[in-house]
Each structure stands twice: as C-alpha cells, then as structure tokens.
Amino acid sequence: MGSGSKYRKPAQEKPKVDDFPFKAKPEVKPQPQRQVFHAKPEEEQKTYEPKVETYQREKPESSKPVVTSEFGFLQDQENPRVSETVQTPALEKKQNYQYPSISLFSKKDRDTNEQPQWLLDQIDVINATLQQFGIEGEVKSSKKGPTVTRYEIALEPGVNVKRILSISDNLMMSLASKSIRIEAPIPGKPFVGLEVPNKKTEIVAFGNVVDDPRFYNDKEHPLKVALGVDIDGENIYADIQAMPHGLIAGATNSGKSVCVNTILVSLLIKNSPEDLKLILIDPKMVELTPYNDLPHLVTPVITDAKMAAQALNWAVDEMERRYQKFSQSRARDIRSFNDNVKRGLIDDPKMPYIVIVIDELADLMMVAAHEVEDAIQRITQKARAAGIHLLVATQRPTTDVVKGTIKSNIPVRIAFKVASFVDSTTILDGAGAETLLGKGDMLFKKSDRPHRLQGAYIPDDEIYAVTDYIRERYEQSYIFEHEALKQQAELKEIASDELFEDVAYFVVDSNNASINSIQKQFEIGFNRAQKLVEMLEYYHIVSASQGTKAREVLVNMRELNTILGKEEN
C-alpha cells in the first residue's frame, strides 16, 4: 500500500464503473436548439413515383456540423463532453422531405422455365435412390427457386420420415451435388422437402424486391426491410419493429454484409431523418463508409470499439429517458406516444425510431466485452417499446462472441453459410447453416422453423446513388461527435483508476488540489495526476483551472461521501 493509504476506506467496496460511477453528476446548461436540415422549399412531398430529378445543393451558411441535444447528449462546444440525458425539442418536421425513388435501383427478369431438363433428370434420380434403399415414396412436385429447387416427396403411410434423413449422404452422391438440405416435414404440407442446388444461381436484384406495393405502400410499418426471395418466388420482408432485434451471422463471402446494406437502404428510402435515427458501428472501417455524413446519423460511423461502447450506453440512457416520457404522458410505447403527439394530446415533438447496427460484434468483444455485453443485454431486454432496435452482425458466430446473454434476447436470426454444425447451432439453435451455398443463400428464422431465401443483392453504385441523393439535399447534424465519445471513454478509464477515491479524499482532507502535491503524495507521474484532477473537476469536487491561481476545493468530506456513494462513518 502506497503513502496515500490513510485516505483509503478499506471496509467499503469501491463502486463499479457503470454509465457513471458516482451518484452526483455535473449540471449541464442546455444550449439552444438549432435547425438542422436545409431542404429546399420547392421540393415535393413524399412520393414513390419512379422519377428522379436533378437538384443543385444549396450551400448552408455554415458547413460545420452542428452538435445538438436532440434527445440525449448535450455537447459543450468549448469543452466537449457527453452529459446525462436531457429533455430538449426534436427536429422540426420538414413537410417537403423528398424520399429517394425506387427508380434508382436496377431490376432483373426472372427465369420463367420452371422445369428445365436437369430438374426432370434429378426427379428420376431421387425416385431411384428412394427405391434402392427400400423407402416407399416418390417426388410429387418441385419448385425451382433462385438458388435451390425443392422436391416435395410423398411417403407411403407408415414410413418414418427419419429414414430419408438417414440416406442424405447417398442422395447427395446420387445427385452429384455439393450439398443438400432435408426438411422433414415441410411445415403445413404432408411432404418431406429435399432442397438441391440449381445448376445456375439467379441473382435477386434489390430493385425487384422493393418495387412491390407490399413494401413501398406499407405506411403502417416504417421499419419494414427487404430481405430477398424464397423458393416459391415470393418477396420476403422483415419488420424490425416486430423483430424487435436481430442477429446476422455468416462466414466471409457468404452475403452477410450485403444483407446489412439491403436493410439500411430499405430504411433510408422509407424514412426521413425526423422519423429514423441510425447508430452505425463498423470496427472493420470499410463496410459502412457509404453512410457517412447522412442526416439520419446520431453520430459519424463509429470505428473504435471503446467509442462504440459509449454509444451503446447512450442508447441505454435514451431508452430510459423515453420511458420517463411515456410515464408522464400516459403512453405505452413509441407508437402510442407519437399518435398522441399527432392528435395534439401531447405538447412534445415526435420521437424518431433508433436502429443500431453493429457490423462486426467480434471486434467489440475483444476490446470492451463486459461493457458491450451489458449494454446489448439492457437494450435487447426492454428497448422495443421505446422504439430502439439492435441488429448485430458477425462472421464469427462462436459462443465466446455470441454469448447466451446476448442471444437469449434476440429472437430473430439470419444465418448465412457457416463453417460447421457448431456455428449453425450457435445462430439457429440447430443445423442447417453449414449446408448453405454462400453468396446470399440464407436461413431467416423468426419462429421455430427457419425459412430459406436468396438474399437481395444491391451493388455499391446503387448504395451510393441513395446516400448521395440524400447528402446532396440535406445537411447532416450529429447529436454528438466522436470527440464526445472519446472523452467519455477516457473519463471512464480515469474513474476506474484504483487511486481515484484515495486522491479525492486526500484533496478534500488537505484542501489542496495541486497536481504537484498529488504526485508527491501518491508517487505517480504528471500525466496520471493531471487526469485524476480533471476527473475531480468533472464531478465538481474541485474548481476548473484558474491559470496560476490554485484550484479551489468545492466540497467537504460529507459531500464527497455523497458524491462517491459512500455511507458516512
């Protein structure tokens, strides 16, 4: 124990570092709200007409991003910090926001030949193999999808469906196929499904999936996103509000990142920045760069794991603030709250939905596992009613990355091709993903049984067509910048310094807050002592630096115990 041990309180447990480690937090004076978007008054109302017009972007008076406190962080421009949540007005709704048109996306004609010769040949092979192993049954029908064909096998009464599972390797060899998948039975049908890869895979264009009235005319589900096409040729969508959180996993080149892009673009073409806010976390630093500088972003795309942890903690704080608003306004959830705002029953701005996308969870878990896991658990447990939704993607679906505490509260899973049965079980709680073909072949699980789809493909130029369209018309205005997240992370590191409490007691007891005295008393370097003093200032234990004048100690010992959450002796 060092020379500062007289100031340690051995009988008392040091508080854990959570959002902030101590009870008292500094007061922050709110700043005036600023207008954010610079939409042209002549722009049209929301429309999905397939037409694109060219506009010249109007230059705002200042190109510097405005850091606002729209519904959470308040940024001090002179001394950037992330404060506790505050209640401030949201952005004023712009009635003339123009949505990107679906004509920005290319389309592709489907192959209309439902029964090519190779398909008929495979039916004969399947029937012959069943007969060879004494299984009484035959192929009754087939359905050719974009990636695989499903053969529907009718078994004679009394034949155990597990017998087909037992000859799966023989069927794969007879068909000369690199993989097959057996669904025994097909849900809702008296058949066993045998899925065999097509001789040629069809690309499912994103434009085909979104050019559907079930998507673009669905005003009741603003968070509906396009996923792809199933074996029956049906466009498949997912409603993030209903999910309410999702896990996306798959190996490299399996289609995972393309799926994340189709989800994000789906959200952008249906939601204005006042209706939707995004937090994008991209530790790999390359996957989500097309979305930088969008007005929908809460903060610039985050690439640092420690900053990501702070952003997730902000989302937890925002969730709690929203529940307080619901309680005060007698609303059950974000939808009823916004309905009451629309009807004039609540004198508050409309709350936007918040969607958080983590592109690679494994990178975050390596750097800030405990903090990230805790924040994800809290969000997935109770953020649905608050309109905050989380989508987590990873190419390493192992149990040390996708932990049980994370997975248990994420009911919807999207699995792409993985390396092993074990990885498939981690994602889907069962087999199947290890037999997928890659390149967008997926299993979408929102109930007990996964649904096989071919994911929609959107090329980079179409992603940029949408994001450039928005950027050219509306200026971004982040709620907080990276500097605020960085300083928040640094403050947490200081708060976890084992000497912090000892230094606080020493400063108050000696009425001396000089860096030099702390260095001598605790035998530490200048940089560490300076950071500790900055933390004391942050919690208003000492005054701000006054040049050559000594800092003033602002609290007595009783008040310090209150700040540190200690009981008085």
Q: What is the reported pLDDT for 541?
A: 92
What span, in angstroms and rounded, lies between the C-alpha atoms of 157 and 518? 85
Indicate whether 257 and 149 sit together in one domain. Answer: no
Residue 85 domain-assigned? Answer: no
Clarify whether residues 409 and 509 are in a common domain. no
Q: What is the per-residue pLDDT for 32?
A: 43
| Mean pLDDT, residues 487-492 | 60
Report the pLDDT value the prediction gives residue 548, as an integer from 0 to 100: 79
Question: Which of 312, 351, 304 has the alpha carbon at shortest distance from 88?
Answer: 351
What's the pLDDT tens digit per position in 12-57? Answer: 444 443 443 344 444 434 444 443 444 444 444 444 443 333 333 3
Residues 193 and 246 in one domain: no
Q: Is residue 481 part of a domain?
A: no
Q: Give the bridge partners for 414, in sequence order.
A: 248, 444
Name residue, tokens 């995004």. Answer: 278
Question: Would you call 73 helix, strand, or coil by DSSP?
Answer: coil
pLDDT for res 408: 87
Cβ neighbours, 10 Å, residue 279: 24
Q: Does 444 lie in the same domain as 318?
A: yes
User: In terms of domains, do 400 and 500 share one?
Assistant: no
**Residue with structure tokens 């959180």?**
245
Whether 249 contacts 416, CB under 8 Å: yes
**What pLDDT is stored for residue 295 in this prediction?**
94
Mean pLDDT of the chain: 82
| Percent of the chain residues past pLDDT 70, beyond the cut | 80
Which alpha helices (DSSP H) does 250-360 contain, by range? 256-268, 305-329, 334-342
Torsion angle of the four alpha carbons 196, 197, 203, 206, in this order, in degrees rounded to the nearest 10: 40
Which position has the higher pLDDT, 69 or 302?
A: 302
Alpha-carbon distance of 522 to 134, in angstroms, equals 83
Asked if the model's pLDDT at residue 189 lies above 80, the reply is yes
Higher pLDDT, 496 or 353: 353
Comparing C-alpha atoms, which of 347, 342, 474 is closest to residue 89?
347
pLDDT at 11 over 50: no
> Tens digits of per-residue pLDDT, 226-281?
999 999 999 999 999 999 999 999 999 899 999 999 999 999 999 999 999 999 99
Q: Is the pLDDT of residue 63 over 50?
A: no
Lowest pLDDT segment from 306-310, 339-343, 348-352 = 306-310
Give Cα 53 distance to the centre of its chain. 32
Do the Cβ atoms of 556 and 17 come closer than 8 Å? no
Closest CA to 361 of 407, 317, 319: 407
pLDDT tens digits for 129-173?
Answer: 999 999 999 999 999 999 999 999 999 999 998 899 999 999 999
Query: Whole-angstrom distance between the N-terminal and C-terminal Cα of the chain?
Result: 22
Question: For residues 334 and 353, what is the distance between their CA atoms, to the nearest angstrom?
Answer: 8
392 and 506 fall within a common domain: no
State which residues form the domain around 426: 239-453+462-474
What is the C-alpha separation between 373 and 399, in angstroms, rounded? Answer: 13
pLDDT tens for each residue of 363-398? 898 888 888 898 999 999 999 999 999 999 999 888
The answer to whether residues 250 and 319 belong to one domain is yes
Write down which residue in 197, 214, 230 finishes a domain: 197
DSSP 536: H
Q: Name the pTM for this structure.
A: 0.73
Give the CATH number for residue 446: 3.40.50.300
What tokens appear for 99 in the block? 């949505």
Of 90-94, 154-158, 345-349, 525-529, which range is least confident?
90-94
Report d(CA 561, CA 535) in Å as an integer: 16
Q: Same structural domain for residues 268 and 417? A: yes
User: For the packed helices 515-522 and 526-538, what is the interaxial angle rounded to 10 degrees?
Assistant: 120
Q: What is the CATH number of the domain that holds 547?
A: 1.10.10.10
Domain of 187, CATH number, reads: 3.30.980.40
- For residue 44, being part of any structural domain is answered with no
The dihedral over CA atoms of 40, 276, 309, 33, expressed in degrees to the nearest 10, equals 50
d(CA 205, CA 131): 40
Is the pLDDT at 88 greater than 50? The verdict is no
What single letter denotes the amino acid at residue 435?
A: T
pLDDT of 53: 37
**Eight-state DSSP code of residue 48:** -
Residue 309 is predicted with a pLDDT of: 87
Would 504 be classed as within a structural domain?
A: yes
Chain Cα centroid distance, residue 349: 24
Question: CB neighbours of 564 closer than 8 A, spacing ≥ 6?
Answer: 15, 22, 23, 501, 504
- Residue 473: which of 30, 36, 8 has the closest Cα? 36
326 in a domain, yes or no?
Answer: yes
Cβ neighbours for 406, distance < 8 A, ≥ 6 positions apart: 247, 361, 373, 376, 377, 380, 392
pLDDT mean over 67-92? 37
Q: The tokens 């498939």 sit on which residue? A: 424
Q: According to the model, what pLDDT value does residue 239 have?
A: 96
Which of 417, 422, 425, 309 has the alpha carbon at shortest distance from 363? 309
Q: Is 213 helix (H, G, I), strand (E, B) or coil?
A: helix
Question: Does residue 41 form part of some domain?
Answer: no
Q: Is position 280 within any domain?
A: yes
Q: Are residues 261 and 397 in the same domain?
A: yes
Span 433-484, pLDDT tens digits: 999 999 999 999 987 789 999 999 999 999 999 999 999 998 888 887 666 6
Residues 341 and 267 in one domain: yes
* 379 and 527 co-located in one domain: no
> How far, CA to CA in Å, does 304 sit from each of 109, 309, 363, 367?
42, 9, 9, 9
Q: Number of structural domains, the chain?
A: 3
Tally of residues, the chain: 569
- Pick the closest to residue 280 from 299, 306, 257 (CA basis): 299
Residue at 520 is within a domain: yes
The verdict on 408 and 280 lying in the same domain is yes
Query: What distances in angstroms separate CA 69 from CA 92, 96, 383, 387, 568, one per listed residue?
Result: 13, 24, 20, 18, 37
